[in-house]
Structure 1
Amino acid sequence: MKVNSLKNVAGAHNDGIWAAAWAPATESRPGLLITGSVDETVKLWKGDELECERTNTGHSLGVVAVAAHPGGTIAASTSLDSFIRVFDIDSNATVTTLETPPSEAWLMQFDPKGVLLAVAGGGSCSVKIWNTATWRMDTTLTVPKTENADGKASDKTGLGKFVLGVAWSLDGKNLACSTMDGTVAIFDVAKEKLLHTLEGHNMPVRSLVFSPVDNNVLFTASDDKHIHMYDAKSRVLVSAFSGHASWVLSVDASPEGAAIASGSSDKTVRLWDLKMRASVQTMTDHSDQVWAVAFRPSNGEGLRSGRLASVSDDKSISLYEYA
């Protein structure tokens, strides 16, 4: 496997780009790349040409995250303005606006069926689950504080369980959420039950993703410069990947499950072969830290031929062919 650089768009936004996600193809159009920036805008790009189709200006502060519904018709963005904006991908029309308290809307993801939207709750130490039919909050999953042997609450960094990221398992039954202190919590969503936590990182875990082919395999990216591969059911740390020279800010898994990509504050994007458990390629297209990497969903069109996008504080988007 390898990636080949197809295009780099400099000045894609007027400020650093913090978020990227692919909107799946629909009957009327191919997949689109969605990006969110500190410049307060969300942009939609043609997937192969990287030509800007639309610009969304609904936020009043920097955009932290973007997520696309699996049906490809709607998407959501979170911002430092504490609003979650849900919009129609093809018209840019606002579907709904969800308000949260300050610092309580970070990374988010729709469940595989598109019924629920999970939003990392930041300083609330929780994950908020919204129903996409009613846009009402279904439930709140709270990440408990770590306890010492004497039963007293203890956090490894003193920062508390600030929740940064979320990831749904392939079957949509479990939800993983990552925290500022490096702990990863695994929930049974239907039962609203914390199953267990995964240890191993000692710094913030800013990104995580389940394998698209295995319900139990979870990848996490941390400021400790490592990517971990866990069996989320048995709580086993299967492998640790090292190679980045600084914080690993983002991780995503390829559609067929054979590789992962990562972006780092060392300004590089790396491709990792999961059989070899090693980095097989390093891309140096960016001149500042890489906040997000995203593989385009396959949609059944040749699982081993696709696209990988990366976005950076250098205001640029890079597009790669993955095969």
Structure 2
Amino acid sequence: MKLAGLKSVENAHDESVWATAWVPATEARPALLLTGSLDETVKLWRPDELALERTNAGHFLGVVSVAAHPSGVIAASASIDSFVRVFDVDTNATIATLEAPPSEVWQMQFDPKGTTLAVAGGGSASIKLWDTATWDLIATLSVPRPEQPKPSDKGNKKFVLSVAWSPDGKRLACGSMDGTISIFDVARSKFLHHLEGHFMPVRSLVYSPVEPRLLFSASDDAHVHMYDAEGKSLVGSMSGHASWVLSVDVSPDGAAIATGSSDRTVRLWDLSTRAAVQTMSNHSDQVWGVAFRPMAGAGVRGGGRLASVSDDKSISLYDYS
């Protein structure tokens, strides 16, 4: 497995680019790349040439997270202004505006069926679930404190940064500032257990599309962890980055993960050996987001793609094979 650099766009935004996600293809158009920046805009890019399709304004502070609905028709952006804006991908029409108290919006993700949007609730130490049919708030999942407080357990360490759905939509994982990962049973709105092992903020989480129990986490402790999220066990730990690991995503074939770090690199890891097989140094500043393009449907052209975004205002696109 390897990455090959395809294209980079310098000054893709006016400020740091903190978020990226792929919008699935529809019958009318191919997949698009979505990016969000501290310049308060969201941009949509045609993926093969990284040509700008359109720019969405509407936030009053920096955009910290973007998410695409599995249908490819709508997407959402979350900002430090404490609003989530849901919009039509092709027309940019606002579908809904979801409001949360200040600093209560961080990462977010639609569930695999597209019926629910989960939003990491920042200082509220919770995940908020929104019904995508009505845009009503349907549940608030509160993160309990671990039984054994950590030495650093001062102040609001339960700030929730990251969120991830299991492939079947039955479980929700969230990562917190203190390094704990919480697992919830969504149907019962019930906290199940914590996953231990990190001692610094967990900024990114992703489940394997192939092994639904397998959860990957990226942390400021410079480690990437692989957990059996149901068995509560740490399966493996991968190290190699020289600084914070800010983002992790798993390849559609489940064979590799990519990570972005404040050491300015993107790494590709072979999960069979749990070793980094490649380091890409396209960026000149922190890499805040990495995202694999979902598998193309039957008869749809397009190989594997990985995108990365950075504090250096650029986007890079790689071929994954």
**Which category describes the TM-score, using the shorter chain as reference length?**
over 0.9
Contact 2:63 2:78 (8 Å CA) reproduced: yes
Instruction: Give the corresponding residue for 2:116.
Output: 116
What is the identity, as a one-letter code, of the residue corresponding to 1:5?
G
Q: CA deviation at 1:299?
A: 2.6
Instruction: Give the corresponding residue for 1:292.
Output: 289
Instruction: Give the corresponding residue for 2:210.
Output: 213
**CA shift digits 1:272-306 (9 cap, x unpaired):** 00001100000000000000000001133589931
Instruction: Give the corresponding residue for 1:253.
Output: 250
Q: Percent identity?
A: 68
Pairs within 5 Å for 1:177-196: 177-196=174-193
What is the identity, as a one-letter code, of the residue corresponding to 1:205?
V
Within the alignment, does 1:281 sit opposite 2:278 as a pair? yes
Q: CA deviation at 1:78?
A: 0.3
Q: CA deviation at 1:147?
A: 2.9
Gaps of 5+ in 2: none
In 2: Cα distance, 1:114 partner to 1:3 partner: 30
Instruction: Give the corresponding residue for 2:35.
Output: 35
Within the alignment, does 1:83 sit opposite 2:83 as a pair? yes
Pairs within 5 Å for 1:100-249: 100-148=100-148, 156-158=152-154, 159-249=156-246
Distance 1:277 1:91, change over 3 A: same
Distance 1:321 1:154, change over 3 A: closer
In 1: Cα distance, 2:301 partner to 2:89 partner: 24
Q: CA deviation at 1:156?
A: 3.7
Contact 1:146 1:155 (8 Å CA) reproduced: no
Contact 1:145 1:155 (8 Å CA) reproduced: no
Within the alignment, does 1:271 sit opposite 2:290 as a pair? no
What is the identity, as a one-letter code, of the residue corresponding to 1:67?
A
Pairs within 5 Å for 1:296-311: 296-300=293-297, 305-311=303-309
Distance 1:212 1:204, change over 3 A: same
Given candidates 289, 311, 314, the residue that maps to 1:313 is 311
In 1: Cα distance, 2:66 partner to 2:153 partner: 28
TM-score by length of 2: 0.97
What is the identity, as a one-letter code, of the residue corresponding to 2:41?
T
**CA shift digits 1:6-26 (9 cap, x unpaired):** 000000000000000000000
The alignment covers a number of residue pairs equal to 319
**CA shift digits 1:117-141 (9 cap, x unpaired):** 0000000000000000000001000
Contact 1:116 1:132 (8 Å CA) reproduced: yes
Gaps of 5+ in 1: none
In 1: Cα distance, 2:147 partner to 2:213 partner: 26
**CA shift digits 1:68-95 (9 cap, x unpaired):** 0000000000000000000000011100
What is the identity, as a one-letter code, of the residue corresponding to 1:188?
D
What is the identity, as a one-letter code, of the residue corresponding to 2:109?
Q
TM-score by length of 1: 0.97
Contact 1:66 1:78 (8 Å CA) reproduced: yes
RMSD: 1.3
What is the identity, as a one-letter code, of the residue corresponding to 1:137?
L
In 1: Cα distance, 2:207 partner to 2:58 partner: 30
Q: CA deviation at 1:215?
A: 1.4
In 2: Cα distance, 1:237 partner to 1:25 partner: 35
**CA shift digits 1:141-178 (9 cap, x unpaired):** 00011234xxxx66744232110010000000000000
Instruction: Give the corresponding residue for 2:259.
Output: 262
In 2: Cα distance, 1:215 partner to 1:226 partner: 21
